[in-house]
Amino acid sequence: MAAATTIHPILDFSSHENNESYAMGELALDEPRSPQNTFEMRPITRQRQIIILISSFLTICITIGLNQSYGVFQSYYISPTQNMLPKTTVNEGALVAFVGTLGSGLTWAGSIVVNPMMTRLGAKGSKYICVTGVVFTSLGFGLASVCKEVWQLLLTQGLLYGIGSSLLYYPILSTAPEYFNIHRGSAMGFILSGAGIGGLIFSPLIRFLLTSIGPR
């Protein structure tokens, strides 16, 4: 009788290793990383953290704090003693109120545009976004002081200021947390408290300035 022949299967260990490496995610290293999604920060130091805290706090005070203080402006615009707008503005309370609503609405709705802009432009682009926000905010209040009609206030204190405050607000929310790893919650709580503190400070200050020296 012929001896029985045992046939051993040939094992392909190379494919097995490839499957393991794929399962471990090693092959994903070959995928290029988009430079637009990389965020390069300056070295994190205690001094830089303090600067981020103070500057972000003041920015929130100016943007959200002034939005919350618009009721003082509205009371002045519709008062019979004001000499900035026509006397018939007393009967246009709803339209005057819409100026503040437009500014606040654009501040919050601006995230639809500002956040994709920051993602596309990166860290350096966020700086230009903030500078543009400063320009729009300054123009909004500067031109509002020389307005003589309510529709002009809608374009300046409503439209320009609303766009500018949105361009300032959202870069702060996306950048500031990256500088705090341990006390991030406390840092953001302090920064966002500028909204309430800004409204608390600006409301009596604006009322005093409007009654003492006027809008101009």
Per-residue tokens: 105: 């609405």
* Residue 39 pLDDT greater than 70, yes or no: no
Cβ atoms < 10 Å from Cβ of 157: 24
Residue 42: which pLDDT band, with cuts at 50, 70 and 90?
Answer: low
**Does the residue 113 lie in any domain?**
yes
Residue 2: which pLDDT band, with cuts at 50, 70 and 90?
Answer: very low
Rounded-to-integer distance, Cα 32 and Cα 38, Å:
12
List the domain range (segments joined by +) for residue 207. 45-212
The three-class DSSP label of residue 65 is helix
Residue 4 vs residue 131, higher pLDDT: 131
**Does the residue 141 lie in any domain?**
yes
pLDDT at residue 41, as a whole number: 56
Number of domains in the chain: 1
Express each pLDDT in 159-210 by its tens digit. 999 999 999 999 988 888 888 888 888 889 999 999 999 989 999 998 998 8
* Residue 32 pLDDT greater than 70, yes or no: no
Helix axes 70-77, 93-109, angle to 10 degrees: 160
Q: Residue 118: which CATH number? A: 1.20.1250.20
Contact by Cβ (8 Å): 42, 174: no
**Does the residue 4 lie in any domain?**
no
**Does the residue 205 lie in any domain?**
yes
Rounded-to-integer distance, Cα 28 and Cα 22, Å:
8
* Residue 29 pLDDT greater than 50, yes or no: no
CB-side neighbour CA atoms (13 Å) of 95? 14
Contact by Cβ (8 Å): 191, 172: yes
Rounded-to-integer distance, Cα 22 and Cα 16, Å:
10
Rounded-to-integer distance, Cα 66 and Cα 110, Å:
17
Query: pTM for this structure?
Result: 0.72
* Residue 156 pLDDT greater than 90, yes or no: yes
pLDDT at residue 102, as a whole number: 93
pLDDT at residue 67, as a whole number: 87
pLDDT at residue 126, as a whole number: 83
**Does the residue 14 lie in any domain?**
no
Per-residue tokens: 56: 């972000």
